[in-house]
Amino acid sequence: MKFFHMADLHLGRKLLGEPLWKEQQDLLSQVLRMADEEKPGAVLLCGDIYDKSIPSQEAVGLLDWFLEEMSVRGIQVFLISGNHDGAQRLQFASGILKKEGIHIAGTFKGRAEHIMLTDQFGPLHVWMLPFLRPGMLRPFAEEIPETYEEAVKTALPGAKLHKEERNVLLAHQFVTAGGERPEISDSEQHSLGGMDQVDASVFEAFDYVALGHIHRPQKIGDVKIRYAGSPLKYSFSEWKQTKSVTVAELGDKGTLSVRKLPLKPKTGMAVLKDTMEALVSDKYEKYREGYYLSVVVTDEEILEHPMERLRKIFPGMLEFAVENRRSRSGGISGSAKLSCLKKTPRDLFGEFYEKQNGIPMSDAEQELLQDIIESMEEVGS
């Protein structure tokens, strides 16, 4: 059976304040065209479907459209929640959707959920484990696990796993291999001091482990344990990455092939670093439209309004900095100033909260923040 493995869609996300929903719609359209050509048996969506636990109208509309298009094609979808998702919201209408081949594990119910498929090689078991913290096991266990790894071990099927048959797992965790950590980018926050790590050995009994949580596509130890990565670049630290859809094909027991189908973003991304004279010349002419840009000026002398001059030439510039002897010795660059220009107060506070706590704001916290912002706007008007 052939699977499309995807994760970390982060529908509704912004890049330094720039809305990305049209970019996301274009990439999902590419996935649909790939599905028409490849005809996978199922699509695995491994968490962080939305960027916020209370998603925007555009984000909800995008997911609704994508799932409907998959259903029309007769392709089953397996979807789990990630740490950014509102699990209860994602779980809505899952019973009805299951009849249409859309299988959703939003909330954790004590064990990984199970669906059995069949193909010419016999039974194939799909297990779905939403993002899990140790405290989530409180209603289901006498003793709460102390670590994320212990929590995941407890939630896996264990003796119920059909070891003589093929087993696929969807999970959304920070997985390491013998202490070796995955490569991460600036768009991911991990500040739990290693407490959130789950060793790949926990998943040894599975034939393929479809992971979400890390934005760079990569294997973790074994080729059968993989992060699909995000379909779109969500920070300038990712600008050289090639995003993709992972295709995993399972034949008979023990047979697995993995390949990647590259995705092409609607708008490019680049980091330009040069003197002002070079940046305004024809050398960088191709970046004047169709790109999101981080621009670094390296002139040693003080320039007059460099940020304003560059914004007129590069309308896609979202980040600006000066890098020279003064900035390296403790001077202030302009990167933070420009990065904030397109960000709302909600965006800024949400990012600050996540950096401080390692997790996004909860539904209740987001609702409270929105009430405060609206009250301030009313006072200001």
pLDDT in tens, 18-43: 999 999 999 999 999 999 999 999 99
What is the distance between the alpha carbons of residues 222 and 225, in angstroms, rounded to a whole number?
A: 6
Least confident of 105-119, 138-152, 266-280, 344-358: 344-358
Position 333 scores a pLDDT of 46
Both tokens of 214, joined, read 């890390």
For residue 324, name the pLDDT band (cuts at 50, 70, 90): confident
Q: Check: CB of residue 221 under 8 Å from CB of residue 177.
A: yes
Quick one: 89 exposed, middle or buried, by C-beta within 10 A (0-12, 13-18, 19+)? middle
Q: What is the pLDDT of residue 334?
A: 46
For residue 193, pLDDT beyond 70: no
Of 190-199, 205-214, 331-340, give the lowest mean pLDDT range: 331-340
2-6 and 244-250 strand pairing: antiparallel
Predicted confidence at residue 372, as pLDDT, reads 79
Instruction: Give me the mean pLDDT over the 218-230 stretch.
Output: 96
Task: For the chain, give percent helix, strand, coil, nearest 5.
Answer: 35, 25, 40
User: What element of type H or E holds 114?
Assistant: strand 113-119
Average pLDDT over residues 172-182: 93
Residue 57, pLDDT above cutoff 60: yes
- The pTM (predicted TM-score) of the whole model is 0.87
Q: Which pLDDT belongs to residue 208?
A: 98
Say if residues 200 and 218 touch (Cβ distance below 8 Å).
no
Judged by DSSP in three states, 15 sits in strand
Across the chain, mean pLDDT equals: 89
Structure tokens at 71: 């259903």
For residues 129 and 107, what is the distance between their CA atoms, to the nearest angstrom? 9
Q: How far apart are the first and last CA of the chain?
A: 59
| Residue among 146, 155, 193 at smallest CA distance from 174 | 193
User: Residue 316, Cα to own-chain centre: how many angstroms?
Assistant: 23
Spell out the long-range contacts of 115-120 with Cβ–Cβ below 8 A and sequence spacing 24 or more.
115/78, 117/1, 117/41, 117/42, 117/76, 119/1, 119/41
- The dihedral region occupied by 205, where left means phi > 0, alpha psi between -120 and 50, and beta the remainder, is alpha
* Cβ-based burial of 301 (10 A; exposed 0-12, middle 13-18, buried ≥19): exposed
